[in-house]
Chains A and B, each alone.
Chain A
């Protein structure tokens, strides 16, 4: 495929239907749906470090599929991310909060007292 410029917007739309780009967009939609689902039951400060694991998958895919070389500092980065993800995964995924309904009832109890 030749390079795309804004002078021909039609080519940009045609590019969306190129098989590889279409697969990429479909996978990105899957990512966003799973990401939103995770956010619906886990803390942002849990989900964000955990999804950083994707960086490691990208590194390994580029190593074994695209045959790129991984420099020692990148290996160090992979080790640190793995450590960080393992760290956060050990803890609770959601901040414990008093149930709002329970809070209301305790408030009412306090008021009636």
Chain B
């Protein structure tokens, strides 16, 4: 099944600063969403244990009872829509690799600062390797 795409009127490329701002919006909202969601899940506790104790319904209830989870999901959806907005104005070959790879690095920084995670040399190295890899793959 293929969805025929309407012919795109390729508008003039936006100013580089504007393009950078759009990508920054995607990366920032996505990082905020990931950090808030991760922090919410840590506060809920090990879901596998909760599911063993209270069943699937209990696990779902535990997640839905956490307000921070909804704030995280709100930012994740904000990031999705800012991605769509950026794709509306910029080419896919710029937006997809840039946002996907930058998000990995900003998340490593945010994880260290806000979640106090132990980002050792191994994690920095893997964040960088995956960042370059995703860039190459998405380009």
A-side residues, CB < 8 A to B, are 1-4, 20, 36-37, 39-41, 43-49, 52, 55-56, 59, 73-74, 76-85, 87-88, 90-92, 95-96
Q: Contact between B111 and A40 (Cβ–Cβ < 8 Å)?
A: no
User: In the complex, A90 Cα to B113 Cα: how many Å?
Assistant: 23
B20 contacts A by Cβ under 8 Å: no
Q: Inside 8 A of B58's CB, which chain A residues have their CB? A: none
Q: Is the interface of B mostly helix, strand, loop or mixed?
A: helix
Contact among B34, B118, B132, B138 with A48 in the assembled complex (CB-CB below 8 Å): B34
Instruction: Tell me whether A3 and B104 are in contact in the complex, defined as CB-CB below 8 angstroms, given that A43-B115, A74-B137 are known contacts.
Output: no
Question: In the assembled complex, how far is the CB of residue B96 from the closest CB belonging to chain A, in whole angstroms?
Answer: 11
Minimum CB–CB distance from B66 to chain A (whole Å) comes to 10
Closest chain A residue, CB of each to CB of B37? A39
A–B Cβ pairs within 8 angstroms, 24 of them: A2-B3, A36-B63, A39-B41, A40-B47, A43-B38, A43-B115, A43-B118, A44-B115, A48-B108, A49-B123, A52-B134, A55-B137, A59-B137, A77-B133, A77-B135, A77-B136, A77-B138, A77-B139, A80-B132, A80-B136, A82-B133, A83-B133, A84-B126, A87-B126
